[in-house]
Amino acid sequence: MKKCHLSLQITHWVISDLALTLKCELSYNSADPLAVTMVLDTDRERPVRWVFSRELLAEGLTARVGEGDVVLWPVHDRDGDLTSFCVRVGSVRTALFEIDAEPVVNWLARTYEMVPRGSELNGVDWDELVQLAE
């Protein structure tokens, strides 16, 4: 089992002209190869944790993706270069975060070195899972 973590400062857009800086940690564990975990406000007594698809994160760096509780989309500068991406979480009460793209792109590449895209389910014992479901 391999793990990969990234700690960084992100922007929480409370309203369109009020932004707060929060600490955030992204983590990936090869034992759960389809998921990434995003922990927000890691300094608080009760940090907020969201788990979503690694593929959703990767696609969110290039296009608007997601439905329901997690939606991501890229932010580009005037030259069309990726600068950051936004993550909207929640369904009834939502929160909007903006995250610098470069460190996440590099971190995501490391997760794909650990478990290459398309190989996430290699080694799954499907017979055991079927027996558990019965």
The domain limits of the chain are 3-117
pTM reported for the whole predicted model:
0.85
Map tokens 């929060």 to a residue. 22
pLDDT of residue 8: 96
Confidence at 41, pLDDT banded by 50, 70, 90 = confident
Contacts of 13 (CB under 8 A, 6+ apart): 19, 96, 97, 98
129 compared with 19, residue with greater pLDDT: 19
Q: How far apart are CA 105 and CA 133, in angstroms?
A: 36
> Measured between alpha carbons, how far is 51 from 1 in angstroms, rounded to an integer?
18
* Residues 6 or more apart in contact with residue 94 via CB below 8 angstroms: 88
Tell me the per-residue pLDDT of 71-106, one tens digit each, with 9 for 90 and over: 999 999 999 999 999 999 988 888 999 999 999 999
Which CATH architecture fits 3-117?
Answer: Roll (2.30)
